[in-house]
Homo-oligomer: A and B are copies of this chain.
């Protein structure tokens, strides 16, 4: 357990590619639904979004694909809060497959609080949301960190 479980799903048939396993992009879709579930958990839910016109935008995501996932798997997304400032959340996600104790993928995302209208503009979190993020950060701070974080990719030179 490297994070708080926020989302569970099976694997849809059309998520399997010609290699016979979960297409890379659908790891990302599961993690994207994990971000939605994180939003629910910290109060950025549909009523909040309707009331305030604010939501989260994903600025960056870095995924490490560590293991193949087959079509009969049940998977879950676990989240840790790595950092937060007035407007941004830096979160880590592990994609876990039932029956395996090591993640099939590890990811980091940078998320920005945005008011969408009249033109998209970043906005500070209101106090109650900031408090909920801080509480989740405290509860996940002591969990083991993944070795697979965001980084500069580079092949050995020469």
- Interface residues, chain A, with chain B CB atoms under 8 Å away: 18-20, 23-26, 28-29, 31-32, 35, 46, 49, 55, 57-65, 68, 83-85, 88, 90, 108, 110, 116, 120, 149-156
Contact = CB atoms under 8 A, between A and B. Distances in A.
B61 A24 contact: yes
Given A108-B153, A151-B152, A155-B88, A62 B60 contact: yes
Name A's interface SS: mixed
A62 B28 CA distance: 11
A49 B18 contact: yes
Given A25-B28, A25-B32, A32-B23, A151 B150 contact: yes
Identical chains bound together, number: 2
B58 A65 contact: yes
B61 A63 contact: yes
B61 A110 contact: no
A85 B155 contact: yes
A5 to B, nearest CB: 19
A25 B25 CA distance: 6
A142 to B, nearest CB: 18
A19 B116 contact: yes
A153 B107 CA distance: 11
A150 B58 CA distance: 15
A3 B83 CA distance: 34
A55 B151 contact: no
Nearest to A63: B61
B60 A153 contact: yes
A65 B60 contact: yes
